[in-house]
């Protein structure tokens, strides 16, 4: 079901196309946001989509513009521009880059998990990519210094490598299948460190909260904690299928004669399996929590509750915020 339109039947550009109060609606939305084809869009296509939407808001769109063209422009725009700041996001930090980037990185982590040097290299690559994604998709207009950025990156990378190497050592005498799950444990542990550190400014200063109509009320640290906790959980669940199903399949394939004859096939098969999982896991896990999340006023900081009381009018029970991705 699509979200209600504005008066006159015009598309509401401030709302997603599909009902975000349901998991199905959010899933449909994120299947468009994470569509890998969007990273192939040229800078001109992105700017043209932004321009068309701006004209549509002003009711100055070219004659003959169809709803389908507006929906396409909205999809293209949302794939590349930050929902709060409106800035064009770095290409590999966009959600449309998640599937191709993660399938390559995770596939290699799962393939080259035995060598210490390979573990170091691929965990470093993965955390470098995660740092870019977490910074690019941070909530609100929060700023982060180069020192904070460097500290978050260093801690997350060190933590991931330490977990991976430690578990590799502990599982040396374990069955081969157990060893294949070490990269997932490292990724899960690193997400618990990387995301909060890369978004530490939000935890220290708070993120913007609004009323239901989008009117900004202030910044809340409580909302930031809820937002970041939701993202950490979603990212771990997102990584689960791609880093747990392929190891089981690869462990089975390793016993087959064709794999022993052509071991070079292991890496492309693994990457393909991870990609297949991520095509579905990425949008479905992004949809676990609403992008426009809410928090009860009673759980906000006392000073923010006081500001809300002084607003007058109908008492607010909830305020809303962009949780980030």
DSSP string for 151-169: HHHHHHHHHHHHHHHHHHH
Overall number of domains in the chain: 2
Q: Distance between CA atoms of 99 and 255, rounded to whole angstroms?
A: 29
Pairing of strands 207-210, 292-296: unpaired
Same domain, 99 and 49: no
Residue 84 placed within a domain: no
**What pLDDT score does 169 carry?**
73
Tell whether the model's pLDDT for residue 222 goes beyond 80: yes
Residue 215 placed within a domain: yes
Tell whether the model's pLDDT for residue 143 goes beyond 70: no
**What are the tens digits of pLDDT across the range 68-125?**
999 999 999 988 888 777 888 888 888 888 888 888 887 787 777 667 788 788 878 8
3-class SS shares of the chain: helix, strand, coil, % to 5: 65, 5, 25
**What pLDDT score does 69 carry?**
92
Are 63 and 124 within 8 A, CB to CB? no
Residue 14 placed within a domain: no
Q: Which residues of 303-322 are buried (b: 16+ CB within 10 A; e: fewer)?
A: ebbeebeeeeeeebeebbbb
Range of the domain at 132: 93-322
Q: What percent of the chain has pLDDT over 90?
A: 12
Same domain, 66 and 171: no
Is residue 157 very low, low, confident or very high in pLDDT (cuts 50, 70, 90)? Answer: confident
Inter-CA distances, 69 with 49, 64, 269, Å: 9, 10, 38
Burial of residue 156 (number of CB atoms within 10 Å: 0-12, 13-18, 19+): buried
Q: Distance between CA atoms of 133 and 291, rounded to whole angstroms?
A: 16
**What are the tens digits of pLDDT across the range 244-291?**
888 888 888 878 888 778 877 777 888 888 888 888 988 898 889 988
Q: Distance between CA atoms of 279 and 273, rounded to whole angstroms?
A: 10
Is residue 173 very low, low, confident or very high in pLDDT (cuts 50, 70, 90)? Answer: low
**What pLDDT score does 45 carry?**
92
Same domain, 156 and 274: yes
Q: What is the DSSP letter of 3?
A: P
Is residue 53 very low, low, confident or very high in pLDDT (cuts 50, 70, 90)? Answer: very high
Q: Distance between CA atoms of 199 and 129, rounded to whole angstroms?
A: 15
> Mean pLDDT, to the nearest integer, of 33-42?
89
Same domain, 116 and 261: yes
Are 25 and 283 within 8 A, CB to CB? no
What's the pTM value of the predicted model, to 2 decimals?
0.74
Burial of residue 58 (number of CB atoms within 10 Å: 0-12, 13-18, 19+): exposed
Same domain, 50 and 136: no
> Mean pLDDT, to the nearest integer, of 297-316?
83
């Amino acid at each position: 079901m699509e979200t209600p339109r504005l008066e006159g039947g015009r598309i509401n550009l401030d709302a997603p196309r599909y009902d975000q109060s349901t998991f199905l609606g959010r899933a449909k939305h994120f299947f468009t946001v994470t569509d890998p084809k969007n990273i192939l869009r040229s800078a001109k296509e992105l700017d043209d989509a932004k321009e068309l939407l701006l004209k549509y808001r002003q009711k100055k769109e070219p004659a003959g513009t169809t709803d389908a063209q507006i929906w396409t422009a909205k999809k293209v725009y949302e794939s590349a521009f930050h929902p709060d700041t409106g800035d064009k996001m770095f290409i590999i930090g966009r959600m449309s880059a998640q599937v191709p980037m993660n399938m390559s990185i995770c596939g290699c982590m799962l393939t080259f998990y035995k060598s210490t040097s390979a573990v170091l290299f691929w965990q470093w690559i993965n955390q470098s990519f995660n740092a870019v994604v977490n910074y690019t998709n941070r909530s609100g207009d929060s700023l982060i210094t180069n020192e904070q950025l460097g500290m978050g990156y260093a801690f997350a990378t060190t933590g991931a490598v330490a977990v991976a190497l430690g578990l590799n050592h502990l599982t040396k005498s374990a069955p081969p299948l157990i060893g294949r799950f070490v990269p997932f444990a490292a990724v899960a542990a690193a997400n618990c460190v990387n995301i909060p550190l890369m978004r530490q400014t939000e935890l220290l200063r708070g993120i913007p909260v609004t009323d239901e109509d989008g009117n900004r009320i202030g910044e809340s640290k409580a909302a930031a904690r809820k937002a970041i906790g939701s993202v950490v959980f979603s990212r771990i669940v997102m990584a689960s299928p791609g880093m747990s199903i392929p190891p089981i399949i690869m462990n089975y394939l390793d016993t087959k004669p064709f794999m022993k004859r052509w071991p070079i096939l292991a890496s492309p098969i693994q990457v393909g399996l991870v990609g297949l999982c991520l095509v579905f896991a990425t949008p479905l896990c992004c949809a676990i929590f609403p992008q426009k999340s809410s928090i009860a006023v009673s759980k906000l900081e006392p000073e923010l509750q006081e500001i809300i009381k002084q607003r007058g009018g109908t008492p607010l029970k909830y305020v809303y915020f962009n949780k980030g991705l």
